[in-house]
Amino acid sequence: MAIFVLIPGGWQGGWVYQKVADLLTAGGHTALPITLSGLGDEAAPTANLDTHINEVVEVMMAQQEKVILVGQSYGGMVVSGAADAVPSQIGALVYVDAYVPDDGDSLWSLTTPRFRDVFIAGATADGLTCAPPAHLDPRCRPHPIGTFLQAITLSGRWRKVPRKTFIGAFGWEGSPFRDLHERLSRDPEWSTFAFDCGHNVARLNPKALVEVLLTQV
């Protein structure tokens, strides 16, 4: 049986993976949905990308076997950093409609002008956090803006993880991930999947996501 560490996207907590976690647990696996600093009950306005990466590394190091590390959207930044820190702790990486950075990239540098405008508008209240867009789940929390702005430092060790998968969700307008999906689909080191659903795959298509996750076991 496998251990799945599940990292949500911006503004969201581990609750976004509840359906996925239930399905994995029903199959006898261990599912660990993570709520990163500032995205739960306690605010952490000064958290940055390194903060979130280190939290995930701690979770992985506490496990007795390799994990399957999953990141949605912003979570792709976090899983890349965690995988670069301890690639030996990871059996597979799964990016779910997520950013896949190179050394020196930030979410800000990788995303589109549309989402940069969302971040700017969301940060007007205090300059430290980005308020969630109004259409999101009411459980969403203001996201520490430093995690969106900080450039990631990668040595390239994350590429040693033996299995890397990218899932593109193409049922929504304005996705910043279409070109990335196309590029990775031509890379022999990657497996790619395309879902016809909105960006929030864990909530909109949990069964299909779990089917892909189980191919990593």
Show which residues are catalytic.
Answer: 73
Residue whose structure tokens are 């033996």: 162
Q: Angle, to 10 degrees, between the axis of helix 206-214 and the axis of helix 18-26?
A: 50
Task: Record the tokens describing residue 39, joined without a space.
Answer: 């995205």
Cβ(108)–Cβ(151) below 8 Å? no
Helices (H) and strands (E) in the chain, counts: 9, 8
Say which residues have a Cβ less than 8 Å from residue 72's Cβ, sequence separation at least 6.
7, 8, 9, 12, 16, 96, 97, 98, 200, 201, 202
Task: Record the tokens describing residue 20, joined without a space.
Answer: 């996925």
Report the candidate in 64, 78, 90, 105 with the shortest Cα–Cα distance to residue 161: 90
Cβ(50)–Cβ(73) below 8 Å? no
